């Protein structure tokens, strides 16, 4: 099995989920006491979040590219950026290393297509829902992507940064997310992409009348499958 490199810490709450899922998937595939060979570079999310808010994406990209080079030097054979939003700088990360980067949106689009769906709702940070770097990648993968209205987008974004990234999970926020999901379904969404890795801490299949696609889980499972493919 090849070694998986993780660029994490954005936030560490969801990076911890990545680590758990990587090892669970490896045990499912290989059995016994097997676990995933991996290396982690965990950044300071406060610094990344400040650059996001200030629109200094090139600098954020340089930080993640440096992390990627460190992971390659540590023996990583393939890389994951353990956050949807920071795939905005995926090209910078990819250009910094010679090992492959497994793009989160590609893994997600593949799972949606495998489920026989095309029209999906997208929940995530405002950056992910409103900018083209992620929606465009999903569209290139054959999906018709819908996002909540401005009020819904603001709610989803606020809960991510003010609650979930801090490890706070509130029933009131779960109920609010359910209403946002119901709105997307009413507009024709056949499934809903949980396009922020922290959202999986709040809602799951039981909170949606249509299939949900948990991006952290899909990304981590695809990484294990890729690492086991020679």
| Residue-wise pLDDT tens digits, 16-31 | 999 999 999 999 999 9
Is residue 215 annotated as part of the catalytic site, yes or no?
A: no
Distances (CA, A) of 228 to 61, 66, 148, 165, 221: 29, 26, 37, 31, 11
The residue annotated as part of the active site, out of 26, 38, 196, 197, is: 196
pLDDT band at 183 (very low <50, low <70, confident <90, very high): very high
- pLDDT over 90 at 130, yes or no: yes
Instruction: Report in angstroms the alpha-carbon separations of 56 from 8, 67, 172, 228.
Output: 19, 17, 33, 37
pLDDT band at 46 (very low <50, low <70, confident <90, very high): very high
Q: Is 196 a catalytic residue?
A: yes
pTM value is 0.93
Rounded CA separation 35/23 (Å): 5
53 vs 14: CA distance, rounded Å = 20
**CA separation for the pair 101, 122 (Å, rounded):** 22
Burial of 59 (0-12, 13-18, 19+ CB in 10 A): middle
Which residue of the set 83, 108, 128, 197 is catalytic?
83
pLDDT at residue number 175:
97
User: What confidence category does residue 146 fall into, taking pLDDT thresholds of 50, 70 and 90?
Assistant: very high
């Amino acid at each position: 099995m090849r070694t998986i490199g993780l660029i994490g810490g954005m936030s560490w709450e969801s990076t911890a989920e990545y680590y758990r899922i990587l090892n669970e998937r490896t045990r499912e595939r290989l059995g016994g006491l097997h676990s995933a060979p991996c290396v982690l570079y965990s950044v300071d999310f406060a610094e990344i979040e400040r650059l996001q808010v200030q629109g200094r994406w090139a600098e954020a990209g340089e930080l993640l590219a440096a992390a990627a080079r460190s992971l390659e030097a540590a023996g990583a054979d393939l890389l994951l950026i353990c956050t949807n939003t920071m795939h905005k700088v995926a090209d910078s990360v990819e250009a910094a290393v010679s090992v492959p980067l497994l793009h989160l949106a590609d893994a997600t689009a593949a799972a949606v297509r495998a489920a026989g769906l095309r029209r999906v709702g997208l929940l995530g940070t405002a950056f992910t829902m409103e900018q083209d770097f992620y929606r465009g990648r999903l569209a290139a993968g054959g999906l018709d992507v819908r996002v909540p209205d401005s009020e819904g987008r603001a709610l989803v974004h606020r809960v991510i940064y003010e609650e979930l990234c801090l490890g706070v999970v509130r029933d009131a926020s779960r109920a609010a997310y359910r209403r946002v999901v119901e709105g997307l379904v009413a507009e024709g969404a056949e499934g809903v992409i949980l396009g922020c890795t922290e959202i999986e801490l709040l809602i799951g299949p039981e909170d949606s009348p249509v299939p949900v696609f948990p991006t952290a889980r899909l990304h981590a499972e695809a990484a294990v499958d890729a690492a086991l493919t020679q």
